[in-house]
Amino acid sequence: MFRNAVKVARLFGINVEIDISWFIVFFLFSFTLAGNYFPQQIPGLAETVYWLLGFGVTILFFVSVLVHELSHSLVAIKEGIPIKTITLFIFGGVAQLQEEPKNPTAELRITVAGPLASLGMAALFGLAYLLAPAGQPLTEGLAFLARINLIVAVFNLIPAFPLDGGRIMRAFLWRRWDNLLRATKIAVTTGSFLAFFVMALGFLSLFQGSAWGLWYIILGWIIFQAGQRSYGQVAMQDILSGIKIAEVMSEDVKVVPADHTIEELVSMFYRHKFGAFPIIEDNNLKGLVTMNQVKDVEQRKWAFTRVREIMTPLKDCIIMKPGDEAVEAMMKMASKGEGRVLVIEDGELAGILSNTDMMRLINMKNVFGR
């Protein structure tokens, strides 16, 4: 999902990453607090104090966002849903669930944990504000953190899927209809209307000369895109339910020796029309190479660069068995941003499952209805 994210910590077995877009909002947020907000609230302080306060409050705000996402994640893990990564980005954070909740009760528990954590942080900072001496820089920082956490909690409860409010609505609809796909469609449709409303407000603000309008447009578009992507995944899960990888995978797999040059590899791409090849060395599977990896190498180096130098090692590939569920493979590919799975049985390569194989099956089901 986030291609430009950097791992910064590991908490409770979950990787915490920062997307490059986070740095943009970090400095904008700090600049706004230090250059505008705090000078208005507590005038007469040294500029250094405003900047220290701005940076400090911004860091604590994103710590609060991390607590929000950790709350989702820890409840999800308790419900049996693995969480490998939390990513902080320009509009907050996101915990990347490896699969959908198994029932509406689990969805509700996972979802409400986030807003409750933000409300708890708001109460904590609010209490600290009441106990701190009035008029001090730290006191104003605590007041701001209490308000912003309350805003985060309320904002996330807006019924716009995939915000927490939209997921709560989906959980209730799922419980009522016992149909995840139908519940997701209604929640996503509602979220899309709200996203377009936010974008319309953004355009109106731009016409009125407010730069904040651009942020509304971006936020609305992100909500819309995330909702559509979520519905697509649930729809694919519904179609692929009960189907094994062996029924979908490509068994006619061509392999490439690790000591082949990229020039020889390119010839195989042209000859066989595949998007990737498993790599072998001494009759052992060593990894996978894709066309995109070839693009990263200058053409003048193709004649002497070996495939083993650019391949993805086997330990970094998604590996599954023929008897595993196709929907599980789809979720793993989506969560890792990969386009294919190596299918291995008894230590031998049995086939490859790609997004193309998935789409072919989905198209056939749409045409033939079974």
pLDDT of residue 91: 66
- Burial (CB count <10 Å: 0-12, 13-18, 19+), residue 271: exposed
pLDDT of residue 221: 92
CA angle (120, 142, 212) in 5-degree steps: 90
Q: Quick one: which of 104, 103, 93, 102 has its CA closest to 70?
A: 93
Quote the DSSP letter at residue 317.
S
Which segments in the chain show pLDDT lower than 50? none
pLDDT of residue 202: 92
164-190: b (≥16 Cβ within 10 Å) or e:
bbbbbbbbebbeeeeebebbbbbbbeb
pLDDT of residue 370: 56
**Long-range Cβ contact pairs of 152-155 (< 8 A, separation 24 or more):** 152/64, 152/65, 152/68, 152/92, 152/118, 153/115, 153/116, 153/118, 153/119, 153/122
pLDDT of residue 320: 94
Tell me the per-residue pLDDT of 300-358, one tens digit each, with 9 for 90 and over: 999 999 999 999 999 999 999 999 998 888 888 877 778 899 999 988 999 999 888 88
User: Residue 311 and residue 305: Cα distance in Å, rounded?
Assistant: 11
pTM score above 0.85: no
User: Residue 362 and residue 368: Cα distance in Å, rounded?
Assistant: 10
Which amino acid, residue 114? G
Overall residue count recorded for the chain in this entry: 370
